[in-house]
Every structure is written in C-alpha cells, then in structure tokens.
Structure 1
Amino acid sequence: MANLFINQAKQYAESRPCYPDQLFQFISSMTPSHDLAWDVGTGSGQAARSLAKIYKNVVATDTSPTQLENATKLPNIRYQHTPPIMSMAELEEKVAAESSVDLVTVAQALHWFDLPKFYEQVKWVLRKPNGVFAAWLYTLPEVNNAVDDLIRRFYNNPHRDPRRLLVDDKYSSVDFPFEAVERAGSTGPFEFVTERVMEYDEYMTYLTTTSVYQKAKDNGTELLTADMVEDFRRAWNGDGGSGQKVVKFPIYLKIGRVGK
C-alpha cells in the first residue's frame, strides 16, 4: 500500500485532512496511562502529532521512508521505518517491548493490513490488562451535492481495490478481536467529523493522492480526464459561493481493549 503514495509523499502530507481534537480526547480517555503510544502506518504523521500532545512518547512507524521524511518532527515522536512484515524480534527492536504500550492507533490504513498477523502483534505490545487499540477511517469528503455526486463517480471504477469495501461500511464488518472499553459501551464505530477549508486546486490535489487514483494511474488509466476536471470545476463553482469551500470528512472509529 505504501508504494501507492511514495511519488507524491509531499502532496499527500499537504492535502490529507487533520483529525479533530475530540477524536483524540475520546481515545485517550479510554487508556489508564499515557506513557507510550504506537501509531502504525503513520504516513506523514498527522495522527502522531496529536498523540504527542497527550502521550509522553510516541513511536510512529511506516513502510515508506519517503512518507516519514515529510513528517513533522517533534522531540517525543520517534519515527521508525519498518518492513511490511515484522517478526516478533523485529517488533521488539523497532517498536516496543511486550506489554509496554498504552495505545496502538491506525488511521486510514487498517484495511490494507494482514489483520491476523497484525492483531497478534498489537496484543503482544499492549499493556495487559486494558491496553487500547483504536482504528479509524474517513469516508468520502462532502462539499455540495454536485461535487459529491462526481466524487462517487470518481471512486466507483474498476481500479478500486476491494479492500476499500471495509471503508464503505465504516469498519462495521472488519474483524475486530478486542473487548469493549467499559466507558465506551461498545467497540463502535463511533462517528466524528473533521473539516478543512480548501481551494478547488487543493481539493483536486487531494483526489490525486487517493489510492483509487494511484492504482488507476499505475494501470495506465487517467481518472481525472479533461472532461472530468471540467465537471469538477463547474460543480465546485456552481453554487455561487466563493472559491474556498468547507470540506467535511466523516470519521468512524473502532476502539477496544485487550484483556488479561
């Protein structure tokens, strides 16, 4: 998955939405201590930066060194390049020791993972009992009816990876072998929203960083044809508003804890 974004790592870092403070306040309220968090598939570190405000130390890992180069550096974040598949020995060397992590997070990436193997490692590093695992995603951005209709057309094409179906159903059907945190009442998904003010060009740059666009491009297909770009431009400007739009990204969170 990381290879999809290597060539556009800088654009990816600049165009991704930030996550709301309420999301991290909710997640961190579920962990008894705030010593160490592991952000998996950190990309350019959007989630890691917010975690670093709450947890004493954050390990942020990704399989793409190019993505990590574009991450904001903070003194309590350790960015670590990891292979796509790690042994337990590598996990201990590169990430953390057994039962030492308060929180493991995955933002917009869980659907790409080998879940049985990954969950084994999550349960190994989390503190027992009550270490917390949290995974979230955002669904298609919302601008106005005309733009939103076009982005659905943009996504619904033969190059779309079937694993994105887990995103479509908001992780409701994803395998999630964790117990509900008592304060949460269930494992979710819980809904949040983040907003970003974007110009038309920024929005189109965001589209070029999506996995569906990158896969089509790798297969020799240009999804953003001249006609499609013009359709987006008309839809963006057609409501009589300014060039800037408030773009909403609905977020869905799954959260649970390990037992003894």
Structure 2
Amino acid sequence: MTFKHVWSDRWSDPRVIFDGLSDDYDRYRPRYAQASLNRMFARTGPVNTILDLGCGTGILTRALKPMVPQALVIGADPGSDMLDQAAVVDGGGGIDWLNCRAEELAVGENSLCLMTAAQAAHWFDRPAFYEECVRTLRPGGTLAILYNNRVRGEPVAEAHERLLETITPGYTREYRDFDVAMELSCINEASAVLVDREVWNWDLTFEEFIGYVRSTSHYKVACKERSETEVITAYADALGPLAQEDGTLRVPYETVVTSARFG
C-alpha cells in the first residue's frame, strides 16, 4: 500500500514543493508547544542521536538541540532550498544537516535513538518510511510524529479553511487526516503507541498571518489561479471582521505528538 498526499499532484517530488518559501516558512510558521516536547523526552529517556526528518528550515530541530546539548542532532530534508535556510538560521549551532528523503534515509542501521517528523509525514510514502524506521532506529528507539493543527470550528481557522477550499484547486481541509496511531499500531516492530495533545493560542497580526499563508504549498497553488493581491485581499475580507480588540488574530492550535517504541 502507498499513501499519497491527497491533494497535491507534486507529492512525489518533495525536493521542490517549498522552493522559494523558506524565508517565510522559518519566520512565520508556528513553533511546537514546549510542554509537548518536554513530555516527549520524558518518555524517550536518554538519547544521544536524533534525526529530525522533513525538518524544513529546522524549526523543530533547533528546539530539540538545547534539550539534549550533548546529543548528535541531525536535520534531514529533501529540499535543498529549505536546508540552505536551516543552515543559515542555525549559524553553526551544532546541528548537522542532511539532504535525503524519508524513504531512503542516509543513516546506518540501528543508529538512531529518536526520530522525529514534524508537519511532514503526509508528504511521505509512509509504508516505505516505516520500513526505514525499523532499519535505522535502535532497539528501544522512538519515532515521534508531530503536527501543529488548527483547532477546527474556531472562527479564524474555519474562515481560513473555507477560503482555502474556495481559492485553492483541489484543496480539502481533510488533506492530512490520516490516523497516525493506527498506522504505527500496525507495525510489528512498534509498541507503546501514545498520542499526546497540547492546546495553545497563537496570537498574530494580519501581516504575520499572511506571512504564514505565503509559507504554504497551498499558497503557491492558489497563486497559479489568481494574483497575489487577489489572494491577500480575499484573506483581508475573510479575517478582518474576526480580529481581536488589539487588531490581532487568535488561532487556537493543538500540538499533537504520536509516538511509538521500536524493537
């Protein structure tokens, strides 16, 4: 079985999906709830080798490094544009950067204590990826798949999803609604599957929200059909009435960490 990204016909070439978006991606994407990361490490125990897969510009990778300063931390991504940005932002902070795909990890057998994949697993051919997890994780090693999800039904999130479904050909808000825990439970070598959730609020200006929108692959698709000015105007019309008294937008998020132990 092969799981494809359910709306993008470019799913099979993740090397180019985010080309040209790396600056906005690093600047405007939400970070992951620290409480979620704390609990993740409490479950994994001591680690000395971490691979953050589909790391993009290294948002999660940079959050992990100070939590385990003595560990070898590797950020891996198939997109050279994203990795170039990651290296610049890291500025020699002790993280190694590796260009590879989830289905062909450029690391040795039983070499990893912890593998993370944040906001990325929906791009993978996951059966092939899970085989690589079995190959590369040490006995007792942990795979953690993380997502920052907008809380559905909240006003800004709902307006955003409705607009995306209107202006982005083929987009559906269910595009990455796959059951991570179920998939991990089906892997013979995986056990102790756990889902951890942390709800938090992201308050940002309209300009920051548009920066976030510009960082997405959806935006690239929408701008093939209409001008950037038209897209931004549509967002202003949809979100303007939802601003708080100080002019900011409040977007409730949930950081979801689904983990399993291998071996």
Gaps of 5+ in 1: none
Give the one of 104, 113, 130 matched to 2:124: 113
Does residue 217 of structure 1 match 2:226? Answer: no
Q: Assess if the C-alpha contact under 8 Å between 2:56 and 2:79 holds in 1.
A: yes
As a proportion of its length, which structure holds more strand?
2
Does residue 250 of structure 1 match 2:249? Answer: no
Q: Assess if the C-alpha contact under 8 Å between 1:180 and 1:187 holds in 2.
A: no
**Residue 85 of structure 1, CA deviation:** 5.0
Task: Write the letter of the residue equivalent to 2:257.
Answer: L
Q: Which residue of 1 aligns with 2:8?
A: none
Give the one of 219, 238, 241 matched to 1:235: 241
Cα distance change of structure 1 residues 252 and 226 upon mapping to structure 2, 3 Å threshold? closer
- Identity of paired residues, percent? 22
Instruction: Tell me the TM-score normalised to structure 2 length.
Output: 0.79
Deviations 1:65-87 (A, max 9, x none): 2111222325431011225752x
Does residue 155 of structure 1 match 2:164? Answer: yes
Instruction: Tell me the TM-score normalised to structure 1 length.
Output: 0.80
Partner Cα distance (1:216, 1:116) in 2: 30
Task: Write the letter of the residue equivalent to 1:61.
Answer: A
**Residue 211 of structure 1, CA deviation:** 2.5
Task: Write the letter of the residue equivalent to 2:208.
Answer: E
**Residue 10 of structure 1, CA deviation:** 0.3
Partner Cα distance (1:253, 1:106) in 2: 10
Give the one of 44, 54, 62 matched to 2:77: 62
Cα distance change of structure 1 residues 256 and 187 upon mapping to structure 2, 3 Å threshold? same
SS at match of 2:223: helix
Aligned length in residues: 241
Give the one of 168, 189, 194 matched to 1:187: 194
Does residue 38 of structure 1 match 2:51? Answer: yes
SS at match of 2:194: coil
SS at match of 2:235: helix
Does residue 199 of structure 1 match 2:214? Answer: no
User: Counterparts of 1:1-40 in structure 2 under 5 Å?
Assistant: 1-40=14-53
SS at match of 2:112: coil
Deviations 1:183-212 (A, max 9, x none): xxx432x21134433111111121122232
For the aligned residue pairs, the C-alpha RMSD in angstroms reads 2.8
Give the one of 104, 113, 125 matched to 2:136: 125
Does residue 98 of structure 1 match 2:109? Answer: yes
Partner Cα distance (2:248, 2:57) in 1: 25
Partner Cα distance (1:142, 1:125) in 2: 35
Partner Cα distance (2:51, 2:194) in 1: 19
SS at match of 1:206: helix
Cα distance change of structure 1 residues 226 and 47 upon mapping to structure 2, 3 Å threshold? closer
**Residue 249 of structure 1, CA deviation:** 1.9
Task: Write the letter of the residue equivalent to 1:148.
Answer: A
Task: Write the letter of the residue equivalent to 1:152.
Answer: E
SS at match of 2:25: helix
Q: Which residue of 2 aligns with 1:138?
A: 148
**Residue 166 of structure 1, CA deviation:** 5.8
Q: Which residue of 1 aligns with 2:99?
A: 81
